[in-house]
């Protein structure tokens, strides 16, 4: 009996840097899912509708990165509450009845990564930056933070956006000027959502006693901030932690297989980065 081909892929622009194919294909191989393949496609917003309409019944799901996380919403039949809460879809699942359903696995991925390191509840937190990842960080903090979140941003427009996300997500968000970002280091949990290099100037101000740092960069690793944090004995999570945890949720939704693949995916990610 010939196995029926099943396909998934990651879409975005640029996409050559994505580690998702290594993670998912490693999981397929480890679990003997020989009929499954996972690819990457350079797709921008203009090309997305045509790509989606051309997919056949062998397709199970898609991972989406920038700039497609919001553009895809209008092309879907349904999105989950998690995706709606941040107006961003990073996962599309093709149901047996033909419906295209959008989800956001970054949010539970952040929560799961923190839980793995023993961070299940904090009474306050700080977020560095105010981009797309920052809204997912706030959504994750809505699940684990019982008190105030201070977001350090570069403009009043960004401050308004973060306060708006806080109201929408049920998080008490106070905004502060980026010039005062070193004050973030007093929080028990700091989530840095800036691109690589964005926090390098803060390294000399990392205090002797620190809480937990979640730096969403994974290449190059460690970032100067993460290295300084580790020198002071603080727990540090990287963008790879987020990537593998959210990928596990995607893998389960695409395949329906709930066997553990976290360690396999992490090993594949570390190998690719080395």
Catalytic residue IDs: 69
Beta bridge partners of 125: 149
Q: Are 31 and 220 in contact (CB under 8 A)?
A: no
Task: Work out the widest C-alpha separation in the chain, in whole angstroms.
Answer: 64
Order the strands of the 59-64 sheet from edge to edge.
36-42, 6-12, 59-64, 91-94, 100-103, 78-79
Give the separation between CA 76 and CA 90, rounded to whole angstroms: 12
Q: Are 153 and 162 in contact (CB under 8 A)?
A: yes
Of 179, 175, 106, 178, nearest to 143 by C-alpha is 106
**How far separated are the first and last CA of the chain, in Å rounded?**
39
Give the separation between CA 191 and CA 130, rounded to whole angstroms: 11
Strands in the chain per DSSP E: 6-12, 36-42, 59-64, 78-79, 91-94, 100-103, 125-128, 149-153, 173-177, 189-192, 212-215, 236-237
């Amino acid at each position: 009996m010939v196995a029926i081909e099943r396909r998934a892929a990651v879409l975005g622009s640029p996409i050559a840097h994505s580690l998702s194919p290594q993670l998912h294909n490693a999981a397929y191989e480890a679990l003997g899912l020989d009929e499954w393949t996972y690819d990457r496609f350079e797709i921008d917003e203009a090309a997305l509708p045509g790509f989606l309409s051309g997919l056949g019944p062998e397709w199970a799901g898609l991972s989406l990165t920038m700039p497609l996380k919001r553009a895809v919403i209008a092309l879907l039949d349904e999105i989950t509450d998690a995706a709606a809460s941040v107006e961003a879809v990073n996962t599309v699942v093709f149901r047996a009845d033909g419906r295209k359903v959008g989800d956001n696995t970054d949010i539970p991925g952040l929560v799961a990564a923190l839980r793995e390191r023993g961070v299940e509840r904090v009474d306050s937190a700080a977020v560095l930056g105010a981009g797309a990842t920052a809204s997912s960080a706030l959504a994750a903090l809505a699940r684990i933070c019982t008190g105030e979140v201070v977001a350090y941003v570069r403009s009043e427009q960004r401050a308004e956006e973060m306060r708006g996300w806080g109201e929408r997500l049920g998080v008490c968000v106070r905004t502060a000027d980026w010039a005062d970002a070193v004050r973030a280091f007093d929080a028990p949990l700091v989530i840095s959502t800036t691109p690589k290099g964005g926090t390098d100037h803060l390294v000399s101000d990392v205090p002797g006693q620190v809480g937990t740092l979640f730096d969403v960069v994974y290449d190059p690793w460690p970032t100067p901030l993460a290295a300084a944090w580790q020198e002071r004995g603080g727990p540090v999570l990287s963008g790879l932690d987020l990537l593998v945890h959210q990928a596990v949720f995607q893998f389960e939704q695409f395949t329906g297989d709930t066997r553990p693949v976290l360690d396999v995916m992490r090993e594949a990610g570390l190998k690719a980065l080395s």
